[in-house]
Structure 1
Amino acid sequence: MTSPDTQRPRPGADIIRTALRRNVGAMVRGTVLMGLYQAGETAFPIALGLIVEHTMRDRSLGALGLSIGALAVIITTVSLSWRFGMRVLQKANTTEAHHWRVRVAACGLQPVARDVDLKSGEVLTIATEDADQTADIIEVVPLLISSLVAVAVAAVALGLADVRLGLLVIVGTVAILSVLSVMSKRIGDSTREHQARVARAGAKVADLITGLRPLHGFGGNHQAFRAYRRVSTEARHQAITVARVNGVYAGTALALNAVLAGAVTLTAGWLAFDGRITIGELVMAVGLAQFIMEPLRLFSEMPKYVMTARASADRMALVLAAPPVTVPGKGHPDAGSDLEVDCVRHGALRKLRFQVSAGEFVAIAAYQPRAAADLASVLAVNVPPEAYEGAVRVGGRDLADLSVEAVRAHLLVNPYDGEIFAGSLRTNIDPSGTSRTVPEAVEASMLTDVVALHREGLDYAVRDRGANLSGGQRQRLSLARALAADTDVLVLHDPTTAVDAVTEQLIARGIANLRRGRTTVVITNSPALLDTADRVLVLDDGVITAEATHRTLLSTDETYCAAVAR
């Protein structure tokens, strides 16, 4: 049977139920402690009424001392129960929020079907704000129950003094909640729309930051900023709407609570004046009328928090329930590291067929960039095997039969636009900290000048997306990371487009030396890399049209010579 932690949640209601079920123990403990806190708070005005009643009747120092001791016990109970109750609930809340942040992040790292419109900025918002707001349900439910305990204790105490006072509290509470439950639905709708617009604004700014350098290059940064400002303005207008709705809700709740408290106070005063309740009971009723406003306020705010948590859970479900790009198999590649592309038809590829033997260094000269990109996507499993004709085999096994983890461990496809992360040069090259070939990878990728340029060496701090590195440095850093992974099969897509010719020549030799005896495929039109390869496959119009060494093709194929010669 699939556990709740491994299955994909479906709608937001399932996420809420999973969160509640996982924290039953903490919520029970928190509910007991917070109920004890609310009962103690309610007992305080009751105790004051009893003290007044007995003190006026007995007029003894012993009774007064006993009353002070009782108040001290109540105050101590209130203080400790609140302290430990909130500690239990907040620990469960933060732990649950962490769990959902990790789940959303893990799903965000997996490719999903193309018809799911989720951008990285939206996933970031969902993994932070929405995860936190969903986990708030862990605190909301115990506080809701404890507030109900306080209202119930107050109603019983007032009912013992006079049944009309108890009924007034019960009827008033039901009326207040009925009004506020209707208003909370509007809050849920407004909050859901606000979260969606904030997420879109986050996605827009993430796209803006990613493309900032090329935007500056052709003067499109101002237009991009205007587009972001438009999206952000829409989010601001929706935020104002949410604030207005919340303000009306809070104002209405406060007014209704005040009306109920006033009604209880006036009714108690009238009953005392009429001689139907004692002075002590009047003091108790007035104290409870003032106290009851706080649990009623808390109680009346719970529907709003529940609707907000539900709206956030629905947004998380968009990520967690997004269909994967493919349903992977469970197999592992057989021994050997050959790569075979058999009659693959996808995008610009037309019945593409070639084979790379284990330990061979092959370069693919693609005349059309679209064909190169489509081939890299297919090999990287960014395109599900069922979405293209033909087959790709690694170690003699079809990709469709292999698990994603097995493919990633055996075959690495390094894109030409590999991401650079905030951290250091070392953590970008070896994120797991387990590579044994970091120095060799640094040397082969000619990243040595970047390391030598800074006193910190490999520990030099890298800003988000490599903002403090040049284009060529970022590309070499990405190449070093791919080489340090030391996988059985390595596919490099245009690894040297941002470096000069001399550096490119050195990198080509470095890759060939470091990868000697390991299967390596380079999709490139770089003469240096083509010349280093054992053989070159010419990819033109989606098929392999020629195969030979680089120098043989230069002397026999005019089209090839014109395409790659610099």
Structure 2
Amino acid sequence: MSTTDQQHGQVQPVQPVQQGREQQKPQDPQPPVEEPRKGRQPRPGARILRSALRRNLGAMSRGTALMSSYQAGETAFPIALGLIVEHTMRDRSLGALGLAILALAAVTTIVSLSWRFGMRILQKANTTEAHYWRVQVASRGLQPVAATGAASGGSASGGSASVLKSGEILTIATEDADQTADIVEVVPVLISSLVAVAVAAVALGLADYRLGLLVVFGTAAILTVLSVMSKRIGSRTREQQARVARAGAKVADLITGLRPLHGFGGNHAAFRSYRRVSSEATGQAVAVARANGAYAGTAQGLNAVLAAAVTLTAGWLAFDGSITIGQLVMAVGLAQFIIEPLKLFSEMPKYVMIARASADRMALVLTDEPQASIPAQRPSLGGDLEIDGVHHESLRGLDIHVAAGEFVAIVAYQPRAAADLAALLARNAAPGTYQGTVRVGGHDIAGLPVDAVRTHILVNPDHGEIFAGTLRTNIDPSGTSRIVPEAVEASLLTDVVALHREGLDYPVRDRGANLSGGQRQRLSLARALAADAEILVLQSPTTAVDAVTEQLIARNLADLRRGRTTIVITASPALLDAADRVLVLDDGAITSEGPHRKLLATDPEYRRAVAR
């Protein structure tokens, strides 16, 4: 909530808190969405919030107790001042005055320590909970999901996240995770503020019941008005978060495609497109700011009216003789003090609605069942691959059989067919979206878990991503490969390694910005080779290297992958010549096959397509 650093009533942003020992570190449990109950189904966002509250119940209880002690101590100040005035005027004793001063010092100590330790516990719980949800969203966004999920027709890259772009998931994993975790802090602050109002109402009621009733009914009226306004803020906040996420996704897309955009001069049009999306997000943010301003102004105004009503009523009662001068001092002090806890108390519904809106957005990623949780037998798969009568997008009755250990090259006359074939083998096409069968080792991949298929068949696309880190972490992200040196040599990345003193530990910038196009492509190829998959599918792996380098890579690739099934979708003569056989993919089907040199001699169309 970016609140709660509110000593003396000031609301400050929550500062980062070092993870310590006061709250146990959250484990990495299964996603905390509860089993649905019979009858009316609660919104997933509400279940996420309940999960956060249950997990932090201990820390919240301690924090609530300390913050309530802080608020009660703050409320005790004007009460103590009233009693001091009362006894001093009556007894006129220095001893009584000294005791009163000591009492005020004790109250001050309690207030200070309660605030210090209460906020430490709550902020720690908040930051730890935010970390928990960031990990959950990131983990689920990277997991394949069940084919029966809501997004089964799309990419299997993650839950309903498959209908979200990476920039949107990034926003959910950061801003929405933080705002959802704020509920851990909101509830204790809400309770402690209520304690302060209750103590003030009791103290005023003991002086005169009319003052107590005025505080109780005034607080109820204020909260009734503000609860209506907070719902409006919640709906507008949800829309704002969605628009901001779309703007973030647009930025991510633009950064990814910046080079080709500059290449064909589309960067200005892309910028105008982003500006339009960003303007929509800005407009919605302004609308939310207006609603928040109206809410804050209304809350402040109503609180001031209540404080003024208490002060005037106390003055009238003192003038009438119904209360003493000491009670008047107490009432005036409480009327001034009560504005701050009332302000916090009245702001909490708004933060609850914001947390609810963020939790609803996180549920877009967290509610689909992960593929890994579906029980499925994982047979020992072989290296042979069969594609039998597949119709998918541009593929029309495609039939391919690759024997285990064979090195096959595929020439696709239409780039769209090459992309569709790669998507099919990568299991980016859900089983229900194509006709025909794809078998690995005699097993239909439609009946296998996505992660099992992708572990066995590695499809390295022509646009392989390069990540910030080092050459080593890009080649072997998991740190488990046993053939990193061989992969580096086969991909001819040796010159890049030798060029830098750090070797494989040479730093790589985001998206490989400090590498050339050919170096990025060879780094991607080295990563694919280091994985040592049973079946490796490479899509145009040498388009950014020169002919000599390409010839050497083709020879190295054939040597390193000997005994392993390798499929290369390419038009490179060097790779085609290194392959055991070449398949020609034209108009969505295989039209011819044979050794590269034989096809060159007998097929004029093939010769025109691949000859350089």
Letter in 2 for 1:101: R
TM-score w.r.t. length of structure 2: 0.88
Among residues 23, 29, 44, which one is paired with 1:11 in the alignment? 44
2:61 to 28, 36, 44: 28
| Aligned residue number for residue 56 of structure 1 | 89
Write the deviation string for residues 107-144 of structure 1: whole angstroms up to 9, x where unpaired. 32246445664111111111111111111111111111
Q: Give the Å deviation of 1:504.
A: 0.9
**Aligned-residue offset at 1:260:** 0.8
Instruction: Say which of 122, 130, 148 aligns to 1:89.
Output: 122
SS in 2 for 1:487: coil
Structure 1 residue 153 corresponds to structure 2 residue 180: no
* Counterpart contact for 1:15–1:313, Cα < 8 Å: yes
**Does residue 422 in structure 1 map to residue 465 in structure 2?**
no
Name the residue aligned to 2:140.
107
Higher mean Cα deviation, 71-80 or 166-175? Answer: 71-80
2:454 pairs, out of 396, 405, 408, with: 408
Distance 1:557 1:328, change over 3 A: farther
Equivalent residues in 2 for 1:225-236, closer than 5 Å: 225-236=271-282
Counterparts of residues 121-140 of structure 1 (less than 5 Å): 121-140=167-186
What's the counterpart of residue 438 of structure 1?
Answer: 484
Residue 49 to residue 161, structure 1, CA distance change in 2 (3 Å)? same
Confirm or deny that 1:454 pairs with 2:500. Answer: yes
Change (3 A) 1:294 1:83: same
Cα distance in 1, alignment partners of residues 182 and 384 from structure 2: 51
Q: In 1, Cα distance between the equivalents of 2:220 and 2:498?
A: 73
Match of 1:38 in 2: 71
Counterparts of 1:88 and 1:394 in 2: how far apart (Å)?
54
Secondary structure of the corresponding residue to residue 499 of structure 1:
coil
Equivalent pair of 2:467/2:512 in contact (CA under 8 Å): yes
- Give 2:109's match in structure 1, choosing from 76, 97, 100: 76
Query: Residue deviations 1:250-303, cap 9 Å, x none?
Result: 111111111111111111122122221122211211111111111000001011
Quote the residue 1:284 is aligned against. Answer: 330
Asked if 1:217 corresponds to 2:263, the answer is: yes
Moved more, 305-314 or 292-301: 305-314
Q: 1:146 to 1:291 in 2, by over 3 A?
A: same
Q: Work out whether 1:314 is the aligned partner of 2:341.
A: no
| CA–CA separation in structure 2 for the residues paired with 1:408 and 1:36 | 56
Superposed displacement of residue 305, structure 1: 0.6
Distance of 1:417 and 1:323 partners within structure 2: 29
Structural mapping, 1:293-442, within 5 Å: 293-321=339-367, 330-334=376-380, 336-442=382-488
Deviation of residue 391 (structure 1)?
1.9
Aligned to 1:536: 582
Matched residues in 2 for 1:184 and 1:46: separation? 33
The code of the aligned residue for 2:49 comes to: I
Cα deviation for residue 462 of structure 1 reads 1.9
Deviation at 1:19, TM superposition (A): 1.8
8 A Cα contact 2:153 2:433, kept in partner: no
Deviates more, 1:483-492 or 1:359-368: 359-368
Matches of 1:327 and 1:554, distance apart in 2: 50
Query: Residues 45-75 of structure 1: CA distance to partner in whole angstroms, max 9, x if unpaired?
Result: 2122222222333333332232222222211
2:10 corresponding residue in structure 1: none
Name the amino acid aligned to 2:360. Answer: D
Asked if structure 1 preserves the Cα contact closer than 8 Å seen for 2:466 and 2:524, the reply is yes
Q: Which digits, 9 at most, give the CA deviation of each residue in 1:403-441, with x for residues without a partner? A: 233223222111111111122222111111222222211
Asked if the contact 1:328–1:402 (Cα under 8 Å) also holds between the matched residues in 2, the reply is no
Counterpart-to-counterpart distance in 1, 2:257 and 2:512: 13
> Do structure 1's residue 515 and structure 2's residue 542 form an aligned pair?
no
Gaps of 5+ in 1: none
Q: CA deviation at 1:246?
A: 1.2
Partners of 1:6 and 1:520 in 2: how far apart? 41
* Paired residues of 2:32 and 2:48 also in contact (CA < 8 A): no
Q: Does the 8 Å CA contact 1:413/1:492 hold for their aligned counterparts?
A: yes
Bigger shift: residues 129-138 or 113-122: 113-122
- Select 2:253's aligned residue among 207, 220, 223: 207
SS of the equivalent of 1:406 reads helix
Q: How many residues align?
A: 565
Q: Which amino acid aligns with 1:5?
A: P
Asked if the contact 1:333/1:395 (under 8 Å) is kept, the reply is no
CA distance in 2, matches of 1:267, 1:511: 90
Question: CA–CA distance in 2 between the matches of 1:106 and 1:7?
Answer: 18
Q: Secondary structure at the match of 1:207?
A: helix
Work out whether residues 152 and 430 of structure 2, in 8 Å CA contact, stay in contact via their aligned partners in 1: no
Partners of 2:496 and 2:320 in 1: CA distance: 91
Query: Hey, what's the Cα distance between the residues in 1 that align with 2:80 and 2:34?
Result: 52
3-state SS of 1:365 partner:
strand
Deviation at 1:328, TM superposition (A): 6.5
Q: Is the 8 A contact 2:204 2:212 kept in 1?
A: yes
What runs of 5+ residues in structure 2 fail to find an aligned partner? 1-28, 37-42, 145-150, 155-161
User: Secondary structure at 1:544's aligned position in 2?
Assistant: strand
Matched to 2:387, the amino acid is V
SS in 1 for 2:391: strand
**In structure 2, which of residues 541, 546, 551 is the aligned counterpart of residue 495 of structure 1?**
541
Corresponding letter in the other structure for 1:21:
R
The normalised TM-score by structure 1 is 0.95
